[in-house]
Amino acid sequence: MITRILLVATLLLVLVAAQAAGTLGQSSSPKGDVERGEYLVSAMACADCHTPWRLGSSGPEPDPELTLSGHPQALVLPPAPDLGGGPWGMAATATHTAWSGPWGVSFTANLTPDEETGIGRWTEQEFLETIRSGRHLGRGREILPPMPWFAFRYLSDQDLRSIFAYLRTLPPIRNRVPQPIAPAEPR
């Protein structure tokens, strides 16, 4: 009887500690992390920019064959439109993968685990540092608009790890995204 009471008391203490730590109901298994990452990527609408859009039967829609592969390397663009400094502050391509504004032209990154053109060689730590600092690989060039890294940096380390774990499960897509284009010199 005393053994049973001690067992129940220990179990209750473990449950209370897990609840206090915020881990109750969260799996630390890779599968749980991947599922959470998929949920976060969907809820945060990452595919709206990182997946090229195409014209479908119901209008513009993300191309499921190019999920999270960034700006298509075959899509060579003319110069960005001159917005004239008026109330229109930016423009985007119909694919939602290239954006122009006062910062120049930015292209959405390939988030698939391709080792040459995506994040396949990135470490989890580099991914976290990229989101936290707003710099490529946590130390390189600035991440440009419209990427809202400044909002995503408030995600917990566990959420960012889950996103990274999910991205690593995607099929790798070889797609070399162009480098950003600096803004034109003022006339």
Tens of pLDDT, residues 105-114: 999 999 999 9
Rounded to 5 degrees, what are φ and ψ at 135?
-130, 140
DSSP of 76-134, one letter per residue?
A: ---PPPP-TTSS---EE-TTS-EEEETTEEEE----S--TTTSSTT--HHHHHHHHHHT
The enclosing H or E element of 55 equals strand 53-56
pLDDT over 90 (residue 161): yes
Tens of pLDDT, residues 13-62: 333 344 444 444 444 555 679 999 999 999 999 999 999 999 888 888 99
Q: Which of 162, 172, 127 is nearest to 42 (CA)?
A: 162
User: In this predicted structure, what is the pLDDT of residue 15?
Assistant: 37
Q: Where are the domains of the chain?
A: 30-75+113-178
User: In this predicted structure, what is the pLDDT of residue 31?
Assistant: 63
- Please indicate whether residue 184 or residue 124 has the higher confidence score (pLDDT): 124
User: In this predicted structure, what is the pLDDT of residue 110?
Assistant: 98
pLDDT over 60 (residue 4): no
Tens of pLDDT, residues 114-158: 999 999 999 999 999 999 999 999 899 999 999 999 999 999 999
pLDDT band at 184 (very low <50, low <70, confident <90, very high): confident
Q: Which range among 86-95, 147-156, 163-172 shows the weakest confidence by mean pLDDT?
A: 86-95
Those residues with Cβ within 8 angstroms of residue 124's Cβ, 6 or more apart along the chain or in another chain: 161, 164
Q: Tell me the fold of 30-75+113-178.
A: Cytochrome Bc1 Complex; Chain D, domain 2 (1.10.760)
User: In this predicted structure, what is the pLDDT of residue 21?
Assistant: 46
**Cα(143)–Cα(131) distance, integer angstroms:** 9
Those residues with Cβ within 8 angstroms of residue 11's Cβ, 6 or more apart along the chain or in another chain: none
